[in-house]
């Protein structure tokens, strides 16, 4: 197998400058004074900078309509920012150990402003800002600006499609390995190796649930030995060139029983219905309803125990969510999973998942591998 290539740099400083400007515009329309972004996926999306998220030192992007974007950063990490493509669009305010970074950040904030704060911000840092600017208030970025990363541009969609194609290639290749007599974790290792072989720099999950373990949607691949006659749920994905893949297929070791084939057929039809419900202006919940209706009509409604989908982009799980009660309308450029499932405790489970991108007149699958039940050895 080939070595995984490093993520490509495909965005320019102007791309990042435009993203930050759109974030400020969105905050203004929402009645907010600005956006505060700590290390995590939002910072990577807005600036191309990916410092460690697990640090007690404050790194904070401050986006407000009054000034150009400012990045408050530890002095010892300031040199790393030069490697980020979006660095040219930022003004740096660095601070040294022993100084108070919140006192440095406070003048950048309105004394009584309300700010959207990235979900990954440590409570330590948020409390520090509140002490330094006691009149400020804050809202979670996901709640206040749910569309910030939801709509992908043309270049992002290309990367999403490439990640999906790599996941499809992984699936096609895994069908050639032996399942019977091997442990779930061994097949999971094969999936991870194949994802990397086909260009993923990061593997986020490789779920392999065989037989009764398939009835647990988030089963961790373990030491159960896969046997002839097992249904096997495989859910796998990660990041390729900074954008996510996530796909699920359910295969069978040997010939399925009529009951197993029937359940698989129901899930396949539900997944088709969910995808066909995708079009601009439709509420997210309608995708969930379309898939769920098929499963309920078949008598398995109580066995479909999770939402139909989640957004995906620079992380493998992010807004929007295809779930009852989510009335956010679909917009061209949104990408999310459609993944209905049926889970029969103690017996087996079935899930089928594709990533779908909203187009001007419908939806486009970013996964094209076969959804019929594949038979493996």
Give the C-alpha separation, 39 to 51, whole Å: 6
214-251 per-position pLDDT tens digit: 999 999 999 999 999 999 999 999 999 999 999 999 99
Distance separating alpha carbons of residues 175 and 13, to the nearest angstrom: 42
What are the φ and ψ backbone dihedral angles of 374, each rounded to 5 degrees? -80, 145
- The DSSP-derived string for 242-295 is TEEEEEEEEEEESPPPHHHHHHHHHHHHHHHHHHHT--TT-BHHHHHHHHHHHH
Alpha-carbon distance of 334 to 317, in angstroms, equals 13
Per-residue model confidence as pLDDT tens digits over 60-99: 999 999 999 999 999 988 888 877 888 888 999 999 999 9
Q: Is the pLDDT of residue 5 over 50?
A: no
| Of the candidate ranges 5-9, 84-88, 201-205, the one whose mean pLDDT is the lowest | 5-9
Domain count for the chain: 2
Tell me phi and psi for residue 55, to 5 degrees. -130, 145
- Domain span at residue 174? 154-376
| Phi and psi based region of residue 368 (left: phi greater than 0; alpha: psi -120 to 50; beta: remaining) | alpha
Other beta carbons within 10 angstroms of residue 346's beta carbon come to 7
One domain, residues 86 and 226: no
Q: Is pLDDT of 9 > 50?
A: yes
* pLDDT over 50 at 1, yes or no: no
Among 54-58, 145-149, 267-271, the range scoring the smallest mean pLDDT is 54-58
Virtual torsion, Cα 205, 144, 11, 84, nearest 10 deg: -80
What are the DSSP calls for 305-362, one per residue?
A: -S-SEEE-SSSSSEEEEESTT--PBP-TTBEEEE--EEEETTTEEEE-BEEEEE-SSS
Which whole number is the average pLDDT over 318-338? 96
- The answer to whether residue 336 is domain-embedded is yes
Strand 341-344 relative to strand 348-351, pairing? antiparallel
Continuous segment of H or E residues that includes residue 102? helix 101-105
Q: Which residues contact 111 (CB under 8 A, 6 or more apart)?
A: 133, 135, 136
Q: Does 80 share its domain with 212? A: no
Query: Would you say residue 159 lies in a domain?
Result: yes
Average pLDDT over the chain, rounded to whole?
94
Q: What is the number of residues in the chain?
A: 377
Say whether both 98 and 38 belong to one domain.
yes
Report the predicted TM-score, pTM, of the whole model to 2 decimal places: 0.90
Q: Does 61 share its domain with 121? A: yes
Residues 194 and 340 placed together within one structural domain of the fold: yes
The per-residue pLDDT for 79 is 83
Are both 169 and 92 inside the same structural domain?
A: no
Same-domain check for residues 161 and 233: yes
The residue among 103, 121, 144 that closes a domain is 144
Within a domain: residue 184? yes
> 6 in a domain, yes or no?
no
Residue 35, strand partner residues? 63, 116
Could you give the percent of the chain with pLDDT greater than 70?
98
Does residue 304 sit in helix, strand or coil? coil
Do 81 and 210 reside in the same domain of the chain?
A: no
pLDDT of residue 8: 54
| Residues 183, 87 share a domain | no
Count the alpha carbons within 13 Å of 168 in the hemisphere toward its beta carbon: 15
- In terms of Cβ atoms closer than 10 Å to its own Cβ (0-12, 13-18, 19+), residue 174 is buried
Judge if 125 and 170 occupy the same domain: no
Coil, strand, or helix at residue 186? helix
Residue 86 confidence (pLDDT):
81
Q: How far apart are the first and last CA of the chain?
A: 23
- Give the whole-angstrom CA distance, residue 293 versus residue 222: 33
- Domain presence at residue 5: no
Residues 180-193 pLDDT 10s: 999 999 999 999 99
169 with 220, same domain: the answer is yes
C-alpha dist (Å) from residue 225 to 163, 170, 210, 267: 30, 22, 8, 25
| 3-class secondary-structure state, position 167 | helix
Check whether residue 22 and residue 58 sit in a common domain: yes
Domain annotation covers residue 3: no
pLDDT in tens, 156-183: 999 999 999 999 999 999 999 999 999 9
Which residues, 6 or more positions from 214, have their beta carbon under 8 angstroms from its beta carbon?
231, 232, 233, 250, 343, 348, 349, 350
4, part of any domain: no
pLDDT above 60 for 126: yes
The confidence score (pLDDT) of residue 85 equals 83
Does any domain span residue 39? Answer: yes
For residue 2, what pLDDT is reported?
Answer: 41
Among 111, 144, 177, which residue terminates a domain? Answer: 144
CATH number for the domain harbouring residue 321? 3.90.230.10
DSSP 3-state percent helix, strand, coil across the chain (nearest 5): 35, 25, 40
- Give the residue from 111, 126, 144 where a domain finishes: 144
pLDDT score of 4 more than 50: no
DSSP H helices, 198-257, are none
Q: Report residue 204 CA to chain centroid gap.
A: 10
């Amino acid at each position: 197998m080939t070595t995984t290539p490093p993520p490509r740099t495909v965005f320019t400083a102007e791309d990042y400058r435009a993203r930050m400007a759109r974030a400020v515009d969105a905050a203004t329309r929402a009645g907010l004074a600005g956006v505060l972004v700590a290390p995590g996926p939002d910072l990577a999306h807005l600036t191309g900078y990916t410092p460690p998220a697990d640090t007690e030192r404050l790194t904070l992007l401050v986006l407000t309509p009054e000034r150009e974007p400012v990045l408050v950063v530890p002095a010892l990490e300031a040199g790393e920012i030069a490697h980020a493509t979006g660095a040219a669009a930022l003004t740096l305010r660095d601070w040294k150990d022993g100084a108070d970074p919140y006192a440095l950040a406070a003048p950048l904030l309105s004394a009584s402003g309300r700010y959207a704060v990235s979900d990954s911000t440590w409570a330590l840092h948020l409390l520090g800002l509140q002490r330094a600017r006691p009149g400020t208030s804050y809202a979670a970025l996901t709640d206040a600006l749910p569309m910030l990363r939801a709509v992908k541009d043309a270049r992002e969609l290309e990367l999403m499609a490439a990640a999906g194609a790599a996941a499809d290639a992984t699936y096609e290749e895994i069908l050639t390995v032996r399942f019977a007599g091997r442990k779930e974790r061994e097949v999971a290792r094969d999936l991870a190796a194949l994802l990397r072989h086909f260009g993923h720099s990061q593997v986020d999950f490789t779920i392999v649930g065989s037989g009764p373990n398939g009835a647990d949607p988030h089963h961790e691949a373990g030491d159960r030995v896969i046997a002839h006659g097992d249904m096997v749920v495989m859910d796998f994905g990660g990041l390729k060139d900074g954008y996510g893949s996530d796909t699920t297929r359910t295969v069978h070791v040997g010939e399925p029983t009529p009951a197993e084939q029937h359940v698989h057929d129901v899930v396949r039809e539900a997944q088709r219905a969910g995808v066909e419900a995708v079009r601009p202006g439709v509420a997210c919940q309608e995708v969930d309803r379309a898939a769920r209706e098929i499963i309920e009509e078949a008598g398995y409604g109580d066995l479909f125990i999770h939402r139909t989908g989640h957004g995906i982009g620079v992380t493998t799980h992010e807004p929007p969510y295809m779930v009852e009660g989510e009335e956010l309308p679909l917009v061209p450029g949104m990408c999310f999973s459609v993944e209905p499932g049926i889970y029969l405790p103690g017996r087996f489970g079935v899930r089928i998942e594709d990533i779908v991108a909203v187009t001007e007149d419908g939806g486009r699958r970013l996964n094209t591998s076969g959804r019929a039940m594949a038979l493996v050895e």
